[in-house]
Chain A
Amino acid sequence: MARLPNWARLPRYSRGPTRGLGHDPVPEAERPLVRQGHGEEFGPGSVLEVQDAVADGRIEDVPPTEQELEEMDAALDGVVLRSMTRIGPGYLLLALVLGFGTLSLFGAWLYQIFQGIGVAGINRPVFWGFYITSFVFWIGVSHSGTLISAILRVLNVEWRRPLTRGAEAMTLFSLMVGALFPLIHLGRVWKFYFMIPYPNVRELWPNFHSALVWDLVAILTYMTSSALFLFMPMIPDMATARDRTTGIRRRVYGVLALGWRGSQQQWHRLHLAMKVYTIVIIPVAVSVHSIVSWDFAMTTNEGWHSTIFAPYFVIGAIYSGVAALITVLIFVRRGLGLQEYITKFHFDRLGLILLAVSVIWFYMFFAQVLTNWYGGNPVDRELEELHIFGAMAPLWWFMVAVNVFLPFFTLWFKRVRRSLPAMVVITVLINMGMWIERYLIVVGSNVRNHLPFDWGDYTPGIPEIIIAGATFAMFAFLYVALSKALPFVSLWEVKEGWRLDKWRTQGISEEETESVEEPQPAAPLPSTSEAGEAAT
């Protein structure tokens, strides 16, 4: 049995406070079963305090009984399935507004197709503008979902369980949005199939030297594997939904459940497949954003052809992705009534990840600016001056303020990490900063080149502004629409987590011990203090 640090065992149900919190000791039978996120989350006796106290070893951690576990299962199924089937007027209004926003994207795109790509503000020498900026941004956002979920799975981080589904869905949705942009920015989008290696009589193939072809391959791979990564652990939940719904839903979920009956063999295969898949998808995720960065790094353009670009983009992607994940989870939690399962504790941990990533990102960013500065290349120097002191200084300094200083001076504090309004503001600002960072790379580098006669400027066209803005509506729309179709909390993983945790703390319970031949140790395995030492 793996020895886990204390904090890894936290997100679970436990008996209420027993001692050490200033309350009188209560007999175990009378202690309320404390659910995470239930009721007040701050103050004496609150869930967070209990969790902290358990983590510090100040109070005893009594796992729920088998019967209570079943009650908890039923409650979880109830909350998630109710959020999937109940459609209120507020929901319809939101879906309508977001749907209209999504339509405006396609409307603007159609207008551009019929008028010519010239309705966008791009020109010579700024051949790429808002579209490629948005592309890099959304591919970046897509990064964290799968990557965070996979890394947390590999590291066996227990508190990941209620978060993975939402994160994986985020990856898929933002990829669907991001993958539109290579099409939108084409001069002749109706010829996009030239890029696909299909057999044809003239034996014309795409140019595999081109980073854009790598891009196509990488994004399609990532999209397929992310969709599978979302779908595969959803199979048992589809079966749950099949068993608890009626009518057309029942039939659809029945098909999606792929004949899941919950047999031992099926569970074994699912676990094995997830183990392999989780490890395989990490290099896929890392390679995708490396390849997106090579779209730039493979050119001769000053400001682009930097060897740090691949890791810089990957870290930038994780950075904006974690921030987006926090924003999205806060709204999903609220919208679907998942407060009991996605707690402030999770945002606390995600906030710590965000803080760590922001520091790494700052290192990369600083290294890039520094090498440009002392590299002695006049164009690089000119670009840095333009960004730091010139016309783009407001954007550059805004980015530095929200991406470097803001997380560093706020996320150190537990109080901030556990305040949801503060986290929404911080993460949204970080993503605004990251969007601007991509803008400064895409547009900000193209406005200068080796021949000063060809220096240019860029003002986005109206379709560009509409499309870049509408992507946010489209992303939200995908979330809102599919929240009624997919369980946004992984039901079986949460339930599994509760049981694993019970067993870890308690050993196998007495009823089960009888059927097992080998004697089980009665003492908790591993005990809290041992695990604490193992963690240090």
Chain B
Amino acid sequence: MAIDLDLCTACQACVVACYAENNIATVGEEQIQNGRGLHWIRIERYWKTEWPQPQALFLPLLCQHCVNAPCEPVCPVFASVHSDDGLNLQVYNRCFGTRYCANNCPYKVRMFNWFKPEFPEPLNASLNPDVTVRGVGIMEKCTFCVQRIRRARQQARAEGRKVLEGEVVPACVQTCPTGALTFGDLNDPNSLVARLAQSERGYNLLEFLGTQPSITYLKGVGAERG
């Protein structure tokens, strides 16, 4: 995935889309204040300049699907594993909630179900049948909408071809009104996302940690150009 910070307006549409697509439970105002929100994607806001001319910088943050994911080796039960296509997966049934992975995640994008997630009427009617509803005491996080990836892959296999560019679109990418998010196959040098990853503006978040994230941020330069 590539995220163009010049295009992000921090409208939070991706956050809402993610909640709807992935059956993320809402935890209420009080729990959010306790740091227990379950946002798989969030917009981090940093103030570039102070009052009276405040300028904010926005950083959409979701699981970076690191190649060297720090969460994976620390899980004692292989609940956090790597898939063959480079996704960093969370096996909900296997997780028993040591929260070690979340401690070791430098991006703090792993969300824990502190209580049993609830979907009171009529929210339960809007649950996505493709996605597991998680239980209490387990870790969850952005999957790059693995259900969409798997569906596309099965379709492609059935038709005896490779997954095409643009065939898989995660909910956040689909929803982003400015097109700040781009999803695709980084291994295909001709894909849009691979070309964006080569951009001069491209950088990886906290790349000095050596996690090799799959997400490339494109540095926002618009504010500086005026």
Q: B46-96: which have CB < 8 Å to A?
A: 46, 59, 61, 70, 73-78, 94-96
A216 CB–B CB distance under 8 Å: yes
Specify which chain A residues have a CB less than 8 angstroms from the CB of B76 in the assembled complex. Answer: 194-195, 206-207, 210, 212-213, 216
Task: Please judge, given known A-B contacts A116-B136, A186-B137, A187-B96, whether A449 and B78 are in contact too, CB under 8 Å.
Answer: no
Total contacting residues, chain B, CB less than 8 A: 44
CA distance A449 to B102 in the complex (A): 12
Cβ contact within 8 Å between B104 and A123: no
Cβ contact within 8 Å between B77 and A206: yes
Cβ contact within 8 Å between B113 and A127: no
What distance in Å separates the Cβ of B36 from its nearest Cβ neighbour in chain A? 5
Cβ contact within 8 Å between B115 and A116: yes
B108 CB–A CB distance under 8 Å: yes
Specify which chain B residues have a CB less than 8 angstroms from the CB of A182 in the assembled complex. Answer: 98
B153 CB–A CB distance under 8 Å: no
A64 CB–B CB distance under 8 Å: no
Mark interface residues in B96-109 (1 if CB within 8 Å of A CB, else 0): 11111011101110
B203 CB–A CB distance under 8 Å: no
Specify which chain A residues have a CB less than 8 angstroms from the CB of B96 in the assembled complex. Answer: 186-189, 191-192, 194-195
Specify which chain A residues have a CB less than 8 angstroms from the CB of B119 in the assembled complex. Answer: none
What distance in Å separates the Cβ of B95 from its nearest Cβ neighbour in chain A? 8
Task: Please judge, given known A-B contacts A123-B36, A187-B138, A194-B94, whether A301 and B103 are in contact too, CB under 8 Å.
Answer: yes
CA distance A148 to B135 in the complex (A): 46
CA distance A182 to B138 in the complex (A): 15
What distance in Å separates the Cβ of B213 from its nearest Cβ neighbour in chain A? 13
Tell me whether chain B's interface is mostly helix, strand or loop, or mixed.
Answer: loop
Cβ contact within 8 Å between A127 and B137: no
Specify which chain A residues have a CB less than 8 angstroms from the CB of B94 in the assembled complex. Answer: 194, 204
Task: Please judge, given known A-B contacts A117-B97, A209-B73, whether A124 and B115 are in contact too, CB under 8 Å.
Answer: no
Number of A-B contacts (CB under 8 A): 138
What distance in Å separates the Cβ of A292 from its nearest Cβ neighbour in chain B? 13
CA distance A451 to B43 in the complex (A): 12
Specify which chain A residues have a CB less than 8 angstroms from the CB of B226 in the assembled complex. Answer: none
Cβ contact within 8 Å between A116 and B78: no
Tell me whether chain A's interface is mostly helix, strand or loop, or mixed.
Answer: loop
Cβ contact within 8 Å between B103 and A127: yes
Specify which chain A residues have a CB less than 8 angstroms from the CB of B75 in the assembled complex. Answer: 207, 210
Specify which chain A residues have a CB less than 8 angstroms from the CB of B44 in the assembled complex. Answer: 451, 453-454
CA distance A299 to B73 in the complex (A): 10
Which residue of B has the minimal Cβ distance to A205? B78
A300 CB–B CB distance under 8 Å: yes
Cβ contact within 8 Å between A454 and B108: yes
Contact among A116, A191, A212 with B116 in the assembled complex (CB-CB below 8 Å): A116
Mark interface residues in B171-207 (1 if CB within 8 Å of A CB, else 0): 0000000000000000000000000000000000010
Cβ contact within 8 Å between B97 and A210: no
Cβ contact within 8 Å between A187 and B103: no
CA distance A491 to B219 in the complex (A): 74
Task: Please judge, given known A-B contacts A123-B36, A187-B136, whether A210 and B100 are in contact too, CB under 8 Å.
Answer: yes
Cβ contact within 8 Å between A299 and B74: yes
Cβ contact within 8 Å between B114 and A118: yes
B124 CB–A CB distance under 8 Å: no
B111 CB–A CB distance under 8 Å: yes
CA distance A128 to B102 in the complex (A): 10
Specify which chain A residues have a CB less than 8 angstroms from the CB of B97 in the assembled complex. Answer: 117, 186-188
A298 CB–B CB distance under 8 Å: yes
Cβ contact within 8 Å between A124 and B112: yes
Task: Please judge, given known A-B contacts A187-B138, A210-B74, A299-B104, whether A451 and B61 are in contact too, CB under 8 Å.
Answer: yes
Cβ contact within 8 Å between A128 and B99: yes
Mark interface residues in B2-36 (1 if CB within 8 Å of A CB, else 0): 00000000000000000000000000000100111
CA distance A207 to B104 in the complex (A): 16
Chain A residues with CB under 8 Å of chain B are 115-118, 121-128, 182, 185-189, 191-192, 194-195, 204-207, 209-213, 216, 295, 298-301, 446, 449-454, 456-457
Further contacts, 4 of them, CB under 8 A, given A185-B99, A187-B96, A207-B78? A116-B136, A122-B114, A188-B97, A453-B45
Some 11 contacts from A to B, beta carbons below 8 A apart, are: A187-B112, A187-B139, A188-B95, A188-B97, A194-B77, A207-B78, A209-B74, A301-B106, A453-B46, A453-B59, A454-B108
Chain B residues with CB under 8 Å of chain A are 31, 34-37, 44-46, 59, 61, 70, 73-78, 94-100, 102-104, 106-108, 111-116, 135-139, 206, 209, 211
